[in-house]
Amino acid sequence: MNASLMVGMAEYKVTRTSGEVLVALGLGSCIGVCAFDPTARVAGMAHVVLPQSAGHEQSPGKFADTAIPLLIAQMVQQGASPARLRVALAGGAQLFALGGSGPRMEIGARNAAAVQEILERSRIPIIASDVGGKTGRTVHLFTDGRVRVKTIGQGERDLITL
């Protein structure tokens, strides 16, 4: 039985304890950034809510441009090397698609673009991504690098092993 570490909105967590699993429940427009160093076996996850911090200093875990550097820094502290990091992404959907004005239209797509840009700038490869669309996702990152994504329509499936 794996012990779940819940990564709530605007949080980021890192583990290297075998048997633990990082979980971001019910990602809508948010993105679960799953990072893994296969050599050091350090796993980290950020639950990004919005693309740009635009000068906000409170809760840096909320924004792609501030959360990702912090996640990487914490992983390095636990023995990961930035050059070895591999990333998988899940989320960035738009659930409120039918009818009128959903909450902040296109936020999911903007989140995905921001996360991709920051990772590219940091030269960290995105190995797999399951982003966009209209469905919510739950993402699990295990300490062996396995990434599992669950959606309502398609059930649970392995996305990749980082």
Partner 1 sequence: MTTQTLNSMDELALSALKEVGNIGAGNAMTALATMLDQNVDMSVPRVGIIPLSEFALMTGGEETISVGVYMPVEGDAPGHVAFLWPEASALRLAEQLMGLPLGSTDSLDEVACSALTEVGNILASSYLVAIGEMTELNLLSCPPALAYDMTSAILSEVAAAFASMEDQALTITTHIGEAFGAVDGFFLYIPEPGSLKIMLHALQLDI
Interface positions with partner 1 (CB under 8 A): 8-11, 25-30, 49-50, 58-59, 62, 93-104, 107, 134-138, 150, 152
Catalytic residue list contains 34? no
Cα end-to-end span (Å), the chain: 21
**H-helix or E-strand spanning residue 118:** helix 107-121
CA-based R_g, the chain, Å? 15
Q: Point out which residues pair with 3 in neighbouring strands.
A: 20
- Give the nearest distance from C-beta 158 to partner 1 in angstroms: 18
- Give the nearest distance from C-beta 96 to partner 1 in angstroms: 4
- Give the nearest distance from C-beta 10 to partner 1 in angstroms: 5
Among residues 125 and 157, whose Cβ is nearest to partner 1? 157
- Residue from 24, 30, 90, 141 carrying the catalytic annotation: 30
Mode of pairing for the β-strands spanning 86-91 and 126-131: parallel
**Residues that are catalytic:** 30
